[in-house]
Structure 1
């Protein structure tokens, strides 16, 4: 019996490959090429890719925008903001989401203005009833990312930071409450 640790004896490199092994190697390479092509096409034409524009923004400019958003929004008794228009500002800061909680309508597209005041944060939205469905984005200080989003189902969506941002990271969460739209 040959040892898997010791090299085989003789000139094993120039030995012909068994026909069945060649077929399986060819199938494996062919399948890898199919998957690579599918993955490449899916990232170019798939709907899963977040879109939107990014802008350079200072912390002071960002705070002004978020304060203007909160001033214009209707504040409910539970402290949640109902936006005045289609713009929603959510900005991460250790260890909170400024601009949340927010109340939105189903079937309406909102422009989420995402950023951070201090360090990189992970913006993860998960529906309460299906935690396996989620969207993950990264927000950076100095960058305002405008991402269009639409919610199809009413319910409570949890916003979590999924990028370690310090000692209070595990408590950094907020909510988006989606109610049936008036259509």
Structure 2
């Protein structure tokens, strides 16, 4: 019995292709091009992809921006209440600088994300509905500005979803959204 792993016999690459095989190859190629087109469309016209703006910045410069944000914010026992619509979050092994924050439901905030050391993940999850989440990658030497709004009051957990070293499991914080 022939195995599918055995090399075919003869000059098989010069044989004509069956009409049905040609049809399936054409359908597969057409479907691949269609999916590729949808991917471009979702990126350009869809609301689900957070693109935002990216700026080149040193980790020390970004850390200075986060410090200025914390100095201007009102510090409460629940977290920082931003003075405006900008929220600065710095990632470092193994914590978040600038979090926790207290935000107003329904308002749109510009999150400025950056890393002080290595690549980190920024995953925000509603504690009551884990299927609603956002996951972003944060890289050193870049400031990524992404607009976010939270329609429902509650606690949103922030975790690093990119392994960043031995203390990775302790890298979590929260966003408190209130009326």
Superposition TM-score, scaled by structure 2 size: 0.87
Unaligned stretches of 5+ in structure 1?
A: none
Aligned to 2:95: 96
1:109-131 CA deviation, whole Å, 9 max, x = no partner?
11111112222211111121222
Q: Does the alignment pair 1:153 with 2:152?
A: yes
Aligned to 1:68: 68
Residues 7, 138 of structure 1: CA spacing in aligned structure 2 closer, same or farther, 3 A cutoff? Answer: closer
After the TM superposition, which residues 99-118 of structure 1 pair with which residues of structure 2 at under 5 Å, given as runs?
99-118=98-117
Q: Does the alignment pair 1:83 with 2:82?
A: yes
C-alpha RMSD of matched pairs (Å): 2.1
Contact kept, 8 Å, 1:125 with 1:159, in 2: the verdict is yes
Q: Secondary structure at the match of 1:131?
A: strand
Distance 1:103 1:131 in 2: 20
Of stretches 100-109 and 30-39 in structure 1, the one that deviates more from structure 2 is 30-39
Aligned to 2:23: 23
Superposition TM-score, scaled by structure 1 size: 0.85
